[in-house]
Chains A and B, each alone.
Chain A
Amino acid sequence: MSATATAPPAATPDGAAEAAAKPGSGRRPRWTGGRIAMLVAALVLVVAWLLPLAWAVATSLKPESETTKTPLEWIGSTITFDAYSSVWESGDLTRWMFNTFFVAGMTTLLTVAFSAMAAYGFARTEFRGRKVLYGLVLAGIMVPPQVLIAPLFAEMVQLRLVDTYWGVILPQVAVPAMVFILVKFFDGVPRELEEAAFCDGAGRWRVFLQIVLPLSRPVLAAVAIFTFISTWNNFLWPFLVTTDPANMTLPVGLVNVQSTYGVRYAQVMASLVIAGLPLLVVFALFQRQIVRGVAHTGLAGQ
């Protein structure tokens, strides 16, 4: 029990760890030989990790005729956004971008809302069958969605949800690990707060909406971030359930049309940059929250 309990109450252990790290960083160690060697190693890894991204961006900004030059020139004769404008105009890229935003946004909204409600129900209420149902939810953590693709698709055919937004969204909302994470969090919230509100005459839902949810903001953010990233990037399920390019998400659409760009390097790279950029921008803006959210949700999800 206690083995997993450390991860979910996101605020406390993380804050403690950071506080513990702070006094250490106050007296930053001197630049000894060993530390310089470490810095060099780290920088080598940074270069290796940034190189592919730099190459993609550099290629996308060249005139098409210069992308196949050898030896490699990182910057062409001019910097041009031609590849971007032709990709933007020619393809369904804007459509896929919208689809991905809608699908990821809707999935995140529903996952956070339904998981938080369910977790509160399991953690704080009593009803017949609560233990059995919660056990059933916990058991579902063991079932990877990839195992269900064949029967799920057959079900989607019967429900007529193939090639619809809801066909992409709904299966991605049924993630039992998120309920588990939130139940663990609610278990750590003292009941006194809610009892006081009950005594003041507040109802169940008001307590949930006005006391419990605001208290849970960090963990809800973690769940939301994790869900949004994984839905935005999900490939297998949207790839299976959409066949009409108008309904595809960005990752699926890109792969679907990869052959139509031919060997127009600049355009291929421009389309990849466009597809990768939104989450990278979000990451640059919310580094801390995302790092924390991903680490905690990932840990507790196991």
Chain B
Amino acid sequence: MTPPATTTAATPPAAPAAEARTQSGDGIRTVRHKWTEHGLLFTAPFLLIYALFLIWPLLYGVKLSLGDDNIAGTEAQFIGLDNYAEALTDPNVWSSLWNTVWFTVLSTVPLVLTGLVMALLAHHLRVAEWLWRLSWFAPFLLPSGVVGMLWMWMIYPSGFGLADQMLAAVGLEPGIGWLTDERYAMLSVVLTTVWWTVGFNFLLYLAGLQAIPQHLYEAAEIDGAGPWHRLWHITLPMLRRTTGVVVVLQLLASLKIFDQIYIMTGGGPDDSTRPILQYVYQSGFTGYRIGYASAVSYIFFALIVVVSLVQLRLSRRASEEKAQ
């Protein structure tokens, strides 16, 4: 019932508690009474904020999406599902959804693999841990505005940005339109994102590695297993749960891409990198069609819910396997 870790922590005060409980029926009643006191008061402040700024907008958005509301606040008409019908036939919705999914696919693979490699290196080297953490995780703490602008200036084909200087140094032709050429724009954003956020996956993998029991490796060493054998047959299988978590968190994070693209390419060239959130922003905030923007948001929401549900199923299956 009580895990060893908690009993040690609770030993001194637990003794009088047990005593108190055996004292009298009266004592039990007051204790039970205390457990039920003030419940709503404790939860009320959070629930109020939660209702006002999450539940209410969620419902209000449904209403908005069924009308032709605009941000200027003129009288809105109920138009049923027209916004949804329009969104589903709007090529901009489909192209920006596709850009979002494409970014997610392109970014998730290197973000997960690089994070894993970094964690393996740091874990096995056992030296200078602070250096790995500092250099690989620090970019994660920068605001997207800083990251986006830094990379934009770095790769801008001006001749004196870092990318051009490096190309020139190795004798290649500088002046590639990393952000203005359709072939490279999305890749540049992906590269920026990997640099920016891989540190988070690195940390999760590092925690996963540290949780693998040491005796597994000792046993394998006695059996004469080499380092590659240990990696494939102990480390990677033991990291399966961590990998599942990392992949899902990464998918959900990548689907919500907005900042870097808005800052670096503005969705261009020719809308070829515009993600769905930017289209929501454009229809609702610069196009003033808040009802239509809400409808597009819910289509996007549906995509995220599908990913979350798949994840829930997978993790449930994984924990059932574990239980067996």
Residues of A within 8 A of B (CB): 2-3, 12-14, 16-18, 20-21, 23-25, 28-29, 34-35, 38-39, 41-42, 45-46, 49-53, 55-56, 67-72, 110, 113-115, 117-118, 120-122, 124-127, 130, 133, 136-137, 140, 142-155, 157, 170-171, 173-174, 176, 179, 188-190, 192-193, 195-196, 198-199, 203-205, 207-208, 229, 232-233, 235-236, 240, 250-252, 254-255, 258, 263, 265, 268-269, 272, 275-276, 279-280, 283-284, 287, 291, 294-295, 298-299, 301-302
Chain B residues with CB under 8 A of A171: 53-54
Q: Are B149 and A144 in contact (CB under 8 A)?
A: no
Any A CB within 8 A of the CB of B78: no
Q: Are A199 and B136 in contact (CB under 8 A)?
A: no
Q: Give 24 CB contacts A-B under 8 Å.
A: A13-B211, A24-B126, A29-B126, A114-B46, A118-B47, A126-B39, A140-B54, A144-B252, A148-B58, A149-B277, A149-B293, A151-B57, A151-B58, A151-B294, A153-B285, A174-B54, A195-B20, A195-B31, A203-B34, A268-B149, A279-B142, A283-B134, A295-B204, A299-B204
Chain A residues with CB under 8 A of B3: 12
Known: A157-B71, A199-B20, A302-B249. A121 touches B40 (CB 8 A): yes
Chain A residues with CB under 8 A of B60: 151, 154-155
Q: Which 8 A-B pairs have the closest CB atoms?
A: A121-B42, A125-B39, A127-B39, A151-B61, A118-B46, A251-B143, A251-B145, A3-B319
Q: Are B160 and A70 in contact (CB under 8 A)?
A: yes
Q: Closest CB of chain A to B135's CB: distance in Å?
A: 5
Q: Closest CB of chain B to A45's CB: distance in Å?
A: 6
Any A CB within 8 A of the CB of B183: no
Chain B residues with CB under 8 A of A142: 304-305, 308
The answer, among A23, A45, A71, for a CB contact under 8 Å with B165, is: A71
Interface contacts (Cβ under 8 Å), in number, total: 343
Q: Are B131 and A46 in contact (CB under 8 A)?
A: yes
Q: Are B61 and A20 in contact (CB under 8 A)?
A: no
Chain A residues with CB under 8 A of B14: 190, 192-193, 196
Cα-based distance from A174 to B48 in the complex (angstroms): 9
Q: Are A56 and B150 in contact (CB under 8 A)?
A: yes
Any A CB within 8 A of the CB of B280: yes
Cα-based distance from A176 to B37 in the complex (angstroms): 23
Chain A residues with CB under 8 A of B91: none
Q: Closest CB of chain A to B242's CB: distance in Å?
A: 9
Cα-based distance from A169 to B213 in the complex (angstroms): 43
Q: Are B125 and A42 in contact (CB under 8 A)?
A: yes
Q: Are B61 and A150 in contact (CB under 8 A)?
A: yes
Q: Are B36 and A174 in contact (CB under 8 A)?
A: no
Known: A148-B57, A193-B10, A193-B13. A272 touches B146 (CB 8 A): yes
Q: Are A69 and B61 in contact (CB under 8 A)?
A: no
Q: Are A287 and B130 in contact (CB under 8 A)?
A: yes
Q: Are A53 and B139 in contact (CB under 8 A)?
A: yes
Chain A residues with CB under 8 A of B324: none
